[in-house]
């Protein structure tokens, strides 16, 4: 069924059921948001334990929200009734929109696409939440590349207003308009961006984070740099931000951008730090310790 969204000239498709692949930092935020805004959603990850943790984290967030707004427990139950988890790819059949939020590696995203796309209806859209990888490159692995685009949420997905909607070389106008309309439905501010490494925000952001890493490699203590950065008005310093993002994700994005653009100098600090198990807030420890 097609209709036009307010402010859009192109007809959009109905998104009655969604799926999110990857129940990590971003996947759980995006899935919670969909459920909250009335779109039934299934989260798929590889292990039951991760799926359970993702659902628990979403429930806890809904409970805190209900407490703050003095809402009865039924409100939480109603939102949770729209969300469920699975480890099985087949459970994604019949969804209208799949958003992948698996690790930031092209090969993994290609494998996920190749596994899931054949299970979906012909009209289903597939969106990638990649931070910096090429949507057009991913489209080369698709059977229906016209149905694929980027829907790049920011962390935390439930709070950050901006969503980058990425037009790959083959993305159809209808797919683009539907992704745009979905972001609006989720209460976000979508902007359409070209398919260039890092799109708009991460291209700007990584230059800043790379520079912070270089300063540390030049001998400045990371903590004092982080503290000083907040004193000139940033909500958090670069290293707390890297912890929130995940050191592994930061390292991958830095590599993608340094291959595409010539930096003054590329720091290797994040790649070296990503070899350890402490990857930031999600691991309980990164530059800072959590809990």
- Interacting residue ranges for ligand NAD, rule: CB under 6 A: 21-27, 44-46, 50, 101-104, 108, 112, 129-131, 153-155, 245-246, 249, 282
E runs forming strands in 59-147 = 83-86, 97-100, 125-128
The residue with tokens 């993305």 is: 171
Q: Which two tokens stand for residue 141?
A: 């692995």
Q: Smallest distance, Å, CB 113 to ligand NAD?
A: 10
Cβ-based burial of 258 (10 A; exposed 0-12, middle 13-18, buried ≥19): middle
Nearer to ligand NAD by Cβ, of 91 and 173: the residue is: 91
Among residues 76 and 240, whose Cβ is nearest to ligand NAD? Answer: 240
Tell me whether residue 22 or residue 32 sits nearer to ligand NAD (CB atom). 22
**Between the CA of residue 127 and those of 112, 178, 265, 290, 291, what are the distances in Å?**
12, 11, 33, 32, 34
Nearest approach, Cβ of residue 116 and ligand NAD (Å):
9
Min CB(255)–ligand NAD separation in Å: 12
| Comparison of 155 and 174: residue with beta carbon closer to ligand NAD | 155
What whole-number distance in Å separates Cα of residue 158 and Cα of residue 200? 20
**Contact status, residue 134 vs residue 197, Cβ threshold 8 Å:** yes
Q: Which of 64, 70, 152, 276 is catalytic?
A: 152
Q: Note if 152 is an active site residue.
A: yes
CB of 14 to ligand NAD, least distance (A): 25
- Provide the phi-psi class of 263: left if phi over 0, else alpha when psi is between -120 and 50, else beta: beta
Tell me the catalytic residues: 152
């Amino acid at each position: 069924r097609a209709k036009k969204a307010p402010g859009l000239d192109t007809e959009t498709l109905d998104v009655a059921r969604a799926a999110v692949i990857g129940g990590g930092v971003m996947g759980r935020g995006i899935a919670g948001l969909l459920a909250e805004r009335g779109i039934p959603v299934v989260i798929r990850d590889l292990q039951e334990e991760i799926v359970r943790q993702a659902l628990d984290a979403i429930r806890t967030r809904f409970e805190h929200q209900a407490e703050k707004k003095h809402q009865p427990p039924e409100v939480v139950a109603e939102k949770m009734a729209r969300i469920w988890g699975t480890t099985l790819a087949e459970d994604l059949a019949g969804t209208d929109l799949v958003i992948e939020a698996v690790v930031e590696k092209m090969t993994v995203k290609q494998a996920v696409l190749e596994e899931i796309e054949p299970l979906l209806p012909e009209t289903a859209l597939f969106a990638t939440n990649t931070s910096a990888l090429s949507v057009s490159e991913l489209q080369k692995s698709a059977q229906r590349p016209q149905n694929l685009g980027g829907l790049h949420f920011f962390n935390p997905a439930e709070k950050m207003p901006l969503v980058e909607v990425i037009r790959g070389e083959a993305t159809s106008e209808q797919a683009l308009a539907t992704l745009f309309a979905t972001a609006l439905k989720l209460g976000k501010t979508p902007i359409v961006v070209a398919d260039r490494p890092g799109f708009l925000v991460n291209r700007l952001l990584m230059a800043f984070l790379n520079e912070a890493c270089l300063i540390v490699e030049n001998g400045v203590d990371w903590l004092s740099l982080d503290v000083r950065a907040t004193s000139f008005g940033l909500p958090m310093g670069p290293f707390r931000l890297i912890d929130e993002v995940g050191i592994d994700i930061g390292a991958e994005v830095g590599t993608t951008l340094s291959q595409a653009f010539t930096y003054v100098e590329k720091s290797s600090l994040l790649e070296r730090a990503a070899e350890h198990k402490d990857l930031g807030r999600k691991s309980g420890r990164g530059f800072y310790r959590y809990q």
